[in-house]
Every structure is written in C-alpha cells, then in structure tokens.
Amino acid sequence: MIKKFSFIIVLSIGLLFTSGQTFATDIQPGDTVHFGGVEWIVLDPETGRVIWNDPDNNGNPFWKTRTFDDGNSNVWETSDVRADLNNNLINDLDFSDGSNPDAILNIDLITEDEYIQYATYYNGDILDFNDWSTTWLTKTASSGSSSWVRSVNSAGRMDVSGARNSRGVRPALNLESGIFESIPEISNLTSDQTDTTITLNWNNPDMYEVEKINIYKNDNLFTSLTNEEESYTFTGLDYSTSYDFKVTTVNNEGEESVGESITVKTDYIHLEEITIKGIEEFYNRIHLKWENPTQEGFEKVKIYEEGILIDEVYAPYNHYHFSDLKPETNYTLLLTSFYDPPGEESDGIEIHAKTAAVSEVEDLHVGALNYHAIKLIFTIPEMDGYEKANLYYEGIKVAETDEYGFFIEGFEPGKEHEFVIKTKTTDGYESQGIPITVETPEAPLIEDVSNVEVETTHERVDLSWAVPEYNPNFNFVRIYRKTLTEEQNPVSAFLFGKSVSANEGYDPLFETNGSYFNDLSVDPDSDYEYLLTTENTEGQESDGVTVLASTDPEPTPTMGGINETTNENGDYVFTWSSPTTGDVKVFVGGSEYTTVPASDGQVTIPKDDMQYTMFNNPDVQLQPISESGTEGVISKPSQTIGGIAMPFGVNDIVSGGMELIGLVAGFIILAFALIFAPRLINFIKKTLRTRRIKT
C-alpha cells in the first residue's frame, strides 16, 4: 500500500482527551496511525474511516482468520463475523498507549465498492495487493446466492468465497468526526536554568488561531498564558532535579493541541573532585591512587569505564585496582565524587591510561653451536604472571620453555635463520617479541658417525650409531669387520673407540644410511674390531671410527621337551623340542649308540637294540652337541618301573617314605600308650600295697 506518513504519537496521545478533541497534524488518505496498539491505514480522514494494517503471524494484515458465517449465510447483519467484531475486537486492542475506545463510532468490514475505490488494483492508490498473500473478506454479499460473499484474493482482484470458508478478517473503524483536524503548535521550545529556576522560551503560532497557551509541569497543568506571551520562569525548584514540561496551544473552540515537551534539570552546587596521586600501569592491570575530598557530605567514589559504572570505593579508601585488562590497550576511566546529602555526584575526573606491554626476556645470548644447532640463553623478566618463553621460526612456533634457554638443531647449514622469542603470561598474553638472526656455518664435506654403541651375545653383535643426519653431504655408512687375536685387543680401544686412517685388514660387511647393523656371522667367545666409515655424495670415504666387540662364550646346550613313545612295531621313539640346531648323541646301556641331527627332533631305537635298567626301564641317554661341537648336559628320558611310566624316581620314593613315617609316628605311639598304660598302672598299685604290708 502507499503510505504517505506514519502518525504514531499524534493519534494515540490525542485520544486521551474528550470527544471533539482534534490533533496537531494534518493526516491524509493513505497515512498510517496507531490506535489501540494497532497500526491502521487512513481511508478517509473526514469521516475517520480506517482499516486494520497490523500483520499476523504469517505477515498478512489480518486481525484473525475465520468464517463469514458458520451457518453459511452471506447476510452481514446476522453474520458471525459481525458479532465477533462487535464483541471481541475492542478487548483485543491495547489502550495503554492513551488511546480512547470512546472515539470508536463503528466497527465493520469495508464493502466491495470501498475496496475498488481505494485498491491499487483498480482505481485507488492506498490498498496495495502486494501487502497480503491470501484471500480476505468484505461485508458485501454475492448476488444470486445466499451463501457467497465478495472477497479480495491474493492478486488483489475481487472474488467470491463461501460464507462458511475461513478467510482473513481486516476490521474497519469509523472514528469521531473531525478527529484528524489540526491545531497549530508552538515552535523553538528552549530552556535556561539555575540551581532553583527554569525559564522556558518558545515562539507562538499566528495569534488569530490560538486563544491561550497552557504549560504543564510533570504532567499537571501549571499555568495558562495569553497568546502573546512566549516565555515563563519557574522558581523555587530543587537543585539538581529533573522536571518534565509541556507547552500546548488552545484554539478558539477550546480544543487543545498535543503540545511540545522538554525535560530540564536544574544546576547543582559545586562538588569537590578527588585529586589523583598516582597511576601504575602493568600489562594486565592499572592501579589508581587518589586523595579524597574534604567537603562535607562526601561518601564515595564512583568509577566508570566507557560510561558504564563498574565499581564504587567508599571513604576513607582511596585506591582502586583494575584487573583482567589487555596489554597495550587504552582505557578511559571517569571517577566521580558522590555526596549524600544531597545524593549527587560530581562531574568527575577523567583518566586516560594505557596498560604496559608484556615484558620481554632479558640478557639474551644467541649463537650457532655448529652447522645445524643453535643455542639461545636468557634470563626471565621480573614480572608477575610470567609463564614461559615461546620461540618462533619464520613465523611458526617451534619450541617453548619455562627454563632459561633453547637448544634446537636441524637447521640448514650456511644460512641466516630468523627467530622471534616471545614471553607468554599465565593469562594467555604474549609479548611483541625480540627478533633474532643467527647464521649457521657450512657443513663439513665429510663427517663421521658418532655415539657408537655395541651389544653382544654369543651369536651376534649389534651396532648402533648416530649418523650426521643434518649434513647435506652425507650419503651412507659402510661397516667393516676384522677378527682380532688376543694381542690385538687393547682395552682402551674397546672402551673409547679410535679413529683410523685406512681400512686395510678389514672385511666389508654392509652399507646403510640407517643407524644400526646386526652382525649374525660371528663366532662365540671371539674378539672383533669394527670400522664404521661414511661416504659423502661425492663418493669420498671418511677415515672412520672403530669399536671393539667381544662375543660371549657359547652356553652349554641342554635338552628340552623329551618324550618317549613306542611305535606299532614296539620300537622306542624319543622326541625333543630343543635343541633344533647341531646334533644329538644317543647312548643305550651307557654306550654311544648313534648321533642324529638335532633338527630331526626324534630318534628311533629298535626294541631288539634296547637295554633296560633294574626297574625294566629303557636305559637311554641323550646329549646335545652345538654346531660348534660343544657337548651339553646328558639327559635321561622319563623314568618307568616295570615298563610303566611313573611320576617319581627312586629318590622320590625314599623321601616320600620318610615323610609318611613322620606323619604316622604319633599315632603309633598313642596306640602303644593305650595298650600298656593299664598294665603299668596296676603294677604301680601292687608295688605300693606290698610296701605298706611290710611296713
């Protein structure tokens, strides 16, 4: 719809007054006004005709959606929608804005002719069909049917709807005649004030349109002036007090305008300010100290930050600590002095303070330890809240420490390296940082391995070392070995290693760019010297580093997991789980019978070749022999008695018998006591009687 103006205040305030009251603004057709808490479109200001324009939940300008008549009748006078409007519309309006329901002369819906007159779809320029998206009702019945009413569809065209169909409802009102007529207002309302007086000044409209001027103080009519007076002074006012004034005009018919309003505060007496004595600025806090006023009535200091009251400090305290602030940040603070009486505060002292930067590390010393490692040493700044130091390399954080320095390696040789070291606080802030430039020297053309370590067993030697991983010239490590005689095994070389100038006498074993090698081709109880050289990308070989290694003596081999069975021919089969290398020598009847590879895991002895012990057990013994010829412990298979496998041997039988005698001996002694005790008692009694007779 086309809205020329929106008059929200004019109508709602004006309707507070009596019937016949007019307003201070001319309203034209198509303007919007607020009445009863709802926006309305003015159709005809002369008749006070308006139509509902407040959106519902779907954005349509409807009071509600309902049927024209539940009984499907299109007669307006008896329709349910008319009854609903008359009974409930006023209750749905909100007159708390000062609107007066008595200004409502009629409630209905617009007619089809009214819509055509005002709709932009037809001849008008007020009701625009773009303002709704669904059909709404008029109060005009459709000719030729008792159940159809005329309606406005979503395209803005007149249509028909069944009376029992639910459609949008746009109430229309007729307000009091002449309600939109205007009354001229005063202009240029200004004020001057002292602590006890306020003077209002204004310009009156043409005198022939105005009969008098009314002045309201705090919503009460205070005085009336002639149409020639253009100022008024209020006296005897309280200092530092706000007053609301309104100046209205009254025309020759006694109708009063809405008026012009102004709020004025009287001055107050001079109030002493505090005196700033000190400002301490830290990276995350500011400490203020001041001297309080000596003027009577001083009660406290009110502290504002960016216009917002953040705290109060009551006398006699005279300092304040601002915490949880950001580093290097400007803060504007206002400290006012509050007095009671009179319950007023001074204009205040404005303070502009800036927090300090986060402190940097101190006594910084930087240098390249070698072509790939850099060391930074510093002292920690003396500041509350220090947590650690962060190190950035080319903008990326690479290390942090709560100690006193950094050791970092892996840098490209022969290059300048840019660092920034920053301090970090416990509350998460970082310093701006100290930029550092360090130049690493060029890497050597050839470089040996370092930190060579040796671990040995009887059957292997494990070597490990640190390669020059940061040297771009390094290619790989070559391992040599030399077998030593006793005279060639100096203790110092074994303990500390030695550098050599040639690889004569060494056998090459392996090449690798890794950091370990396992030599499995060694003999037990032997001494070896290993030479580890490096070769660079140009094919040049270093002198190398040597290290000695002595293998352990070979452990005596033993048999394990021996089992005895017989096959279908009655021959004896002996099996074992270890050893799996070397040989196993077999003895029958105490004499060597045969030797078989240990990897066979078994040996078969024909029953005709078997010899037996006194308990009729097979008299067989097995002896392991290592690959190097070391003979191990002779082992016997499981023991049997009478050809039956027993879970114990002869010693177990003797030991078990002794334990059994110890267990039953007590019971045997008790039995003897029970048998011989009565005879012993009788013997003692008889002896005593005989002595008495002789006596």
Tokens of 549: 């290694």
- Confirm if 168 and 136 have CB atoms less than 8 A apart: yes
Cα separation, 573 vs 567, whole angstroms: 7
Cα separation, 90 vs 33, whole angstroms: 17
Edge-first strand listing for the sheet containing 275-281: 275-281, 286-291, 319-322
Which of 512, 482, 483, 519 is CA-nearest to residue 500?
482
Cα separation, 220 vs 212, whole angstroms: 17
Which pLDDT value is given to residue 325?
95
pLDDT profile of the chain (695 residues), mean per 10? 43 37 62 90 93 95 96 96 96 83 94 96 93 96 93 96 97 83 86 93 86 95 94 92 95 86 88 95 96 94 95 97 95 95 88 96 95 96 95 96 95 95 97 96 96 96 96 97 72 44 80 96 94 97 96 92 93 95 94 94 94 91 91 80 45 53 65 66 61 44
Cα separation, 23 vs 13, whole angstroms: 9
Which pLDDT value is given to residue 341?
81
Which of 267, 263, 265, 264 is CA-nearest to residue 346?
267
Which pLDDT value is given to residue 34?
85
Q: Strand (E) positions, 238-346? A: 242-250, 260-265, 275-281, 286-291, 298-305, 308-314, 319-322, 330-339, 344-345
User: Amino acid identity, residue 3?
Assistant: K
- Verify cis geometry, omega within 30 degrees of 0, for the bond prior to 435: no
148-181 per-position pLDDT tens digit: 999 999 999 999 999 999 999 999 999 986 667 6
660-681 per-position pLDDT tens digit: 666 666 666 666 666 666 666 7
Cα separation, 113 vs 98, whole angstroms: 33
3-state class of 654 per DSSP? helix
How many other C-beta atoms can be found within 10 angstroms of the C-beta atom of residue 124? 19
Which of 514, 636, 495, 637 is CA-nearest to residue 564?
637
Q: Name residue, tokens 């050599």.
A: 500
Which pLDDT value is given to residue 2?
44
- Confirm if 359 and 379 have CB atoms less than 8 A apart: no
- Confirm if 573 and 604 have CB atoms less than 8 A apart: yes
**CA 577-578-580 angle, 5° bins:** 105
Which pLDDT value is given to residue 195?
83
- Confirm if 353 and 384 have CB atoms less than 8 A apart: no
Residue 667 class from Cβ within 10 Å (0-12 exposed, 13-18 middle, 19+ buried)?
exposed
CA 73 to chain centre: 65
- Confirm if 551 and 519 have CB atoms less than 8 A apart: no
- Confirm if 423 and 359 have CB atoms less than 8 A apart: yes
Which helix (H) or strand (E) segment holds residue 671: the answer is: helix 650-694
Tokens of 580: 């799996």
Cα separation, 52 vs 65, whole angstroms: 13
DSSP collapsed to 3 states, 408-468: EECCCCCCEEEEEEEEEECCCCECCCEEEEEECCCCCCCCCCEEEEEEECCCCEEEEEECC
3-state class of 543 per DSSP? coil
- Helices and strands: H and E segment counts in the chain: 5, 49
- Confirm if 325 and 356 have CB atoms less than 8 A apart: no
Which pLDDT value is given to residue 254?
86
Which pLDDT value is given to residue 52?
97
